[in-house]
């Protein structure tokens, strides 16, 4: 099982014959992709974006190809997932988790194309007619209440019914009295700007000490939040349940975990109300479906994390259509340059805060090499815990 069996009868997609990677540079971050070819002429694509480790994810994807993919049948998704995870001795971590996720996406793309059906038909079908999304990245710029309020109004005017934002600046561990008041004032300004019907999610980026997080859940209570995301570091996962008991809003998290094994402590401690697996980090279609089922056992709902490109947005739509306990999907698509959509041709568009059912076979996306050549990666970096990070100026 942990080696490619080239004597096994092959399915309608043929065998994997080649694997390549591509990276696109943007003002915000570099987006990386894997493209898997079969000897029947089919290709499948997946996203392997890492915020800061672009070279590493691409190198690992290319290395894994020879070890675990070439000669395999793309329909053997469970075996390929295990072969990459167990055969490569992955023991958690972001780079390996991202590569396994992106390859898994590409396999479902190939299977859908081979069968002539959208990928979601292979992952549970559809429980809904469209997918509700929320906007992130809209608040890039000055960290002032009035500026946040203005940008929030503009984003809602585009049809979004939910927004997420981090009002906390470079806060880490604790907040000074002035910074705490400024952060709360930003949330108050956004709520006042958009009114009571728009759902607001506040991002903690897993950075506060317990006493600060406990103070924040009290301070944020008047603003009727849809959730408070990752208020505590995951090194203190056992304290999440304690914080949940104090909070009136739901607590969400889970983007930092890359498979069911890493999620085990989150489920065992009932750490959150809402899990946030990322389709490009938590194991792709094959693994996230399992996470959603386990979450359902714990009376939790699923709101996938997605700080990646429109390809991951499209992948996530396919995945959540068949997910009964799905809540809402994150998207940064409104932050991106137009050429990003040219590079990932066929990505599903956001219209009035929703994305409609896909219709094309597989994921319906093709990578356009010429656009990648025009916009090479910059390998820039911005530190989320440095002053002014919210401007997202990469260096």
Active site residues: 205, 305
Placement of tokens 């070439």 in the chain = 70
Query: What is the pairing mode between strands 227-229 and 199-203?
Result: parallel
Pairing of strands 31-38, 16-24: antiparallel
* Helical residues (DSSP H) of the chain, grouped into ranges: 54-64, 77-87, 94-115, 145-156, 177-194, 210-219, 240-246, 260-268, 284-297, 310-320, 338-343, 369-374
What is the token pair recorded at 26? 């943007």
Q: How far apart are CA 158 and CA 334, in angstroms?
A: 10
Query: CA–CA separation, 155 vs 138, rounded Å?
Result: 7
Q: Are strands 344-345 and 162-165 parallel, antiparallel or unpaired?
A: unpaired
Q: Would you put residue 125 in left (φ > 0), alpha (ψ -120 to 50) or beta?
A: left
Of the candidates 293, 348, 295, 288, the one whose C-alpha atom is nearest the C-alpha of residue 319 is 288
**325 to 227, 258, 297: CA distances (angstroms):** 16, 20, 10
Quickly count helices (H) and strands (E) in the chain. Answer: 12, 14
Q: Which two tokens stand for residue 227?
A: 């959730």
DSSP 238-265: GGHHHHHHH-SS-EEE-TT--SHHHHHH
Closest CA to 358 of 298, 293, 314: 314
């Amino acid at each position: 099982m942990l080696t490619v069996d080239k004597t096994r009868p092959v399915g309608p997609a043929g065998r994997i014959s080649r694997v390549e990677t591509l990276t696109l540079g943007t003002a915000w971050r570099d987006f990386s992709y894997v493209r898997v070819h079969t000897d029947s002429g089919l290709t499948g694509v997946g996203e392997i974006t890492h915020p800061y480790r672009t070279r590493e994810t691409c190198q690992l994807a290319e290395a894994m190809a020879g070890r675990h993919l070439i000669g395999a049948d793309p329909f053997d998704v469970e075996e390929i997932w295990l072969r990459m995870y167990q055969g490569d001795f992955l023991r958690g971590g972001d780079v390996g988790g991202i590569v396994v996720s992106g390859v898994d996406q590409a396999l479902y793309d190939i299977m859908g194309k081979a069968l002539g059906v959208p990928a979601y038909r292979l992952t549970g079908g559809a429980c809904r007619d469209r997918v509700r999304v929320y906007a992130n990245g809209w608040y890039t710029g000055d960290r002032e209440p009035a500026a946040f309020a203005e940008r929030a109004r503009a984003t809602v005017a585009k049809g979004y019914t939910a927004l997420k934002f981090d009002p906390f600046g470079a806060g880490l561990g604790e907040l000074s009295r002035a910074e705490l008041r400024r952060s709360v004032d930003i949330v108050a300004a956004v709520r006042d700007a958009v009114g009571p019907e728009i759902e607001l999610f506040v991002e903690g980026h897993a950075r506060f000490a317990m006493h600060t997080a406990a103070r924040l859940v009290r301070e944020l209570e008047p603003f009727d939040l849809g959730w408070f995301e990752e208020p505590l570091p995951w090194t203190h996962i056992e304290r999440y349940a304690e914080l949940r008991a104090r909070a009136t809003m739901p607590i969400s998290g889970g983007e930092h975990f890359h498979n069911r094994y890493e999620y085990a402590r989150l489920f065992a401690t009932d750490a959150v109300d809402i899990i946030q697996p990322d389709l490009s980090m938590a194991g792709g279609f094959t693994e996230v479906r399992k996470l959603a089922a386990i979450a359902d056992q714990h009376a939790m709902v699923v709101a996938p994390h997605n700080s990646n490109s429109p390809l991951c947005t499209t992948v996530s739509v396919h995945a959540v259509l068949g997910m009964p306990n799905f809540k809402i999907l994150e998207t940064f698509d409104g932050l991106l340059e137009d050429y990003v959509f040219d590079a990932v041709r066929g990505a599903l568009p956001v219209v009035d805060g929703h994305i409609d059912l896909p219709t094309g076979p597989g994921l319906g996306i093709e990578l356009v090499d010429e656009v990648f050549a025009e916009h090479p990666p910059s390998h820039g970096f911005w530190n989320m815990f440095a002053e002014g990070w919210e401007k997202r100026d990469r260096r």
